[in-house]
Homo-oligomer: A and B are copies of this chain.
Amino acid sequence: MGKSFTKSLITSEGSIRSSNRVARTPESVIRDILKVINNSDILSFAGGLPDDSLFPIKYFSEGFNLAIQESGAKLFQYSETQGHQKLRTWIAESYYPESDPEEILLTNGSQQALDLLGRYFLDEGDFVLIEKPSYLGAIQTFSSYGPRFIGLDYRNDGPDPTELKERISRNPTLPKFFYCIPDFQNPTGFSYSVPNRKAIAEICRDAGIPILEDIAYRELNYKNEIPISLSMLCPENTFSIGTFSKTLSPGLRVGWIRAPKERMRELIVQKQAMDLHSPLINQEVIYRFLISGDFQNHLINLKQNYAQKAKIATKLFQEIFGDTIRFQPPRGGLFLWIEFLDETDTNLLFKTALAEGVAIVPGDTFFTAESSSKQLRWNFSRATAEEMETGVKRLFKAWQRLHSI
């Protein structure tokens, strides 16, 4: 951030003066890593990419054809800001009991949903409650609005309700919202226990703090555990953020917000100002697959596949690193969150690992303020079993090298 700010001031195009926002918006370390290693021999476990061999692309191809045959030109014309009516109905019925399609706004992936809610809620200096660690893309876009973050430790059963209560009461003003990922969080893979869900929903509702609940990984529950969501516990106080990026395809860029109905008009106006609307044909292709009857099987297959990969990754780390590390074997999602029990600094490990030909993300990246440098995030959804074995071995070699210096 500092670098970017300096650049704005000393550039030779002194006349082009950018907004304060530019200096406030951190670059995404992960997207930078991904770009650098794109065409190299480095094995990457740094991204959060789903396994593209599992995308139902034949259905997508048929979906485009049938959609164009049946609906023709209107799929390519301007369309409504709120998005595909039937897809909104499907989302409301599938994920939000007793909601209706007027409570759903379709977005360009869940990243746009996060940005739209940041834009909707935040003025500079506002307080925001956030899990520690949290999703990098959310930290990035919220940061651009200049808030002050209040971090809550994400323990393996969720944040401590007592700590939440205390942080709220200690704060000079009411935080604008609590952003949380209660299911198989990115980066930790942790979930909230049911008692914590209930306590946290109640505390936020009573305090008058809107909950921004990100459910990106909720459907990737390997053991079919779908505990009640905060959105179900208090729909009147929760803005739910969803996406088809993890269950179907990130490239189609279809996400959504479910919001209390009386807020929808204002959210739609922001979306208008942001890009008028998202592409209807992409929403149509998703919708066709969802109602084809194959979505449930696709999801079962996806979960089996990721569960298997999680198992392989778990075994490899346990066997190769032994008790130098600690982690919770994933019950869902796409990540291992590995904590070193010795003095390993994962920021240094990141560099030696790259030199050994393997990319990980140091845990520091996912914190808004003080962090421990003891963790790393390992994505297991995309690599093959062989690649994973090679990757973990390379990482171990990098770790050995780091300790022999």
Question: Which A residues contact B (CB, under 8 angstroms)?
Answer: 4, 7-8, 11, 13-22, 25-28, 31, 35, 47, 49-50, 52-53, 55, 57, 60-61, 64-65, 68-69, 72-81, 107-109, 111-112, 115, 119-123, 126, 137, 140-141, 144-145, 174, 176, 207-210, 236-237, 245, 249-253, 260, 262-263, 266, 269-270, 272-282
Cα–Cα, bound, A115→B279 (Å): 17
Tell me if A273 and B17 are in contact (CB < 8 A).
no
The 6 closest A-B pairs by CB, nearest first: A15-B208, A52-B73, A76-B249, A76-B251, A64-B64, A112-B275
* Chain B residues closer than 8 Å to A176, beta-carbon distance: 17
Tell me if A25 and B55 are in contact (CB < 8 A).
no
Shortest C-beta distance, A18 to chain B (Å), equals 6
Shortest C-beta distance, A240 to chain B (Å), equals 14
With A19-B123, A57-B68, A73-B53 as given contacts, are A78 and B260 in contact (CB-CB < 8 Å)?
no
Shortest C-beta distance, A120 to chain B (Å), equals 6
Tell me if A72 and B49 are in contact (CB < 8 A).
no
Tell me if A57 and B77 are in contact (CB < 8 A).
no
Tell me if B19 and A122 are in contact (CB < 8 A).
yes
Tell me if A73 and B57 are in contact (CB < 8 A).
yes
Shortest C-beta distance, A343 to chain B (Å), equals 34
* Chain B residues closer than 8 Å to A121, beta-carbon distance: 17-19
Tell me if A251 and B119 are in contact (CB < 8 A).
no
With A57-B72, A64-B61 as given contacts, are A78 and B273 in contact (CB-CB < 8 Å)?
no
- Count the copies: 2
With A4-B266, A19-B123, A77-B49 as given contacts, are A279 and B276 in contact (CB-CB < 8 Å)?
no
Tell me if A275 and B108 are in contact (CB < 8 A).
yes
Tell me if B74 and A52 are in contact (CB < 8 A).
yes
Cα–Cα, bound, A69→B58 (Å): 9
* Chain B residues closer than 8 Å to A21, beta-carbon distance: 119-120, 123, 270
Tell me if B273 and A141 are in contact (CB < 8 A).
yes
Query: What are 20 contact pairs spanning A and B, CB under 8 A?
Result: A13-B262, A14-B208, A16-B208, A17-B174, A19-B121, A19-B123, A22-B266, A25-B270, A57-B73, A60-B76, A76-B252, A78-B251, A108-B108, A108-B279, A109-B275, A111-B273, A141-B273, A144-B270, A144-B273, A279-B279
Cα–Cα, bound, A64→B176 (Å): 43
With A19-B122, A25-B270, A31-B272 as given contacts, are A262 and B144 in contact (CB-CB < 8 Å)?
no
Cα–Cα, bound, A73→B50 (Å): 11
The residue on B at minimum CB distance from A58 is B68
The residue on B at minimum CB distance from A28 is B272
Specify which of B65, B207, B237, B250 is in contact with A76 (CB 8 Å cutoff).
Answer: B250
Shortest C-beta distance, A73 to chain B (Å), equals 4
